[in-house]
Amino acid sequence: MTTRCLRTILPFVLALLSTAAGAQQTPAATSPASAVSSASPAKTLTVGVKVAPPFVIRDGDHYRGLAIDLWEEVAADHGWRYTYKPYDLEGLLDAVQQHQVDVGLGAITATAQREQRMDFAHPITSSGLGVAVRSESGSGWLAVAQALVSPAFLSVIGTLVLLLLAVGVLVWSLEHKHNPEQFGGTRAQGIFSGFWWAMVTMTTVGYGDTAPRTVPGRLLGMVWMLAALMVVSFFTASITSALTVGQLSNRIRNADDLGHVRVASIAGSTSGNWLQRNDDNYVHADSLDDALQQLAAGKVDAVVYDAPLLRWQINQDYDGRLRVLPIRLERQDYAFALPDRSPLREQIDTSLLQRINAPDWDQRLQKYFGDRN
């Protein structure tokens, strides 16, 4: 009887033990798969991009650049599928914060303020805010000739000629009827005589061949003599400044020197905010190219912006005319932007560190940034 009961109960006991053992083994078997699934999604990732050479460069319908190259290598490491979606900078940062994109690529600096809104992968490179100035020109007659036809010098001379012409027309209108010997003839001849008198009076040469005789004309002469003292001082300083070639690099040695020159930057950018924090007034440019155009034309003396972007743009469009000074105003770490608590962060960091520590990393940076000294 006892043997028969044991034979009946034993299969049920073995079945229960087998079920319990399977339940204990199931988490161990499925746990790795779950971890891979959370970190390597089967879905197509959305990658937001902000064009900012040399990190992100638009080439027709495709993108390239340092950040693009690194991302595509990281994605290949983990078998991720992705699509690119373009944004402006603020739009990209907002999209990352709101989890509308999985990764943000561009010249994105990791700052304390942005860290409160999102996460960042390991920095791909460190640089800083740079200062671009006009390149030093050679000495001698060639440098003088270049300065004499520069937009800054020509604008000063043009303004001076217009002022002398205005005074000449005014004295002619007062004198030509009562003093035809000196301001007579045709209208053009009379105005030229007035222009000549204004020039001679301003430079205090005083030939005496032309002089007003009427009371209004002599009153104008008195006013012009006094005004000419200030005009000569102003235009002498302006012409000297316009003819000074290749001296800005000696005048800007650190951040404090920026307060003594005309600086351009982009409002709302990291560089613009830095200038505001340091109480430095600056000309608001619409874009980096706009700022560099103003610098090349002599409208401003320096441009403050991200050093890698300055070097790239100058190498592309202003080689030989502009250069970046070997000073760094503020350190900046460039990184991929990620939504808060992104499951991709650890795998991205692993792939990035493998490449950043590779022997050819310096050559890769040289390819995009050129000489960074």
Short-list 137, 101, 140, 143, CA closest to 118: 101
Q: What is the spatial order of strands in the sheet that 337-338 belongs to?
A: 82-86, 45-49, 103-105, 337-338, 119-120
Distances in whole angstroms, Cα of residue 194 to Cα of each of 169, 172, 339: 6, 5, 73
CATH code of 293's domain = 3.40.190.10
* CB 128 within 8 Å of CB 330: yes
Same domain for 215 and 165: yes
Q: State the Cα–Cα distance between residues 79 and 69, nearest whole angstrom.
A: 15
pLDDT tens string 86-117: 999 899 999 999 999 999 999 998 988 899 99
How big is the chain, counted in residues? 373
Looking at the fold, whether 237 and 148 belong to one and the same domain comes out as yes
Q: What are 244-268's pLDDT values in tens digits?
A: 544 544 567 778 888 888 999 998 7
Convert the pLDDT of each residue in 323-370 to its tens digit: 998 888 888 899 999 999 999 999 999 999 999 999 999 888 888 876
Tell me whether residue 191 is in a domain.
Answer: yes
State how beta strands 57-59 and 62-64 pair: antiparallel
Final residue of a structural domain among 187, 209, 243? 243
Render pLDDT for 120-169 as a digit per residue (tens, 0 to 9): 999 999 888 999 998 865 444 555 566 667 677 788 888 889 999 999 99
Closest to 106 measured CA to CA, from 372, 336, 356: 336
Count the domains in the chain: 3
CA distance linking residue 167 with residue 268, whole number of Å: 45
Residue numbers of the domain that contains 344: 45-124+335-369
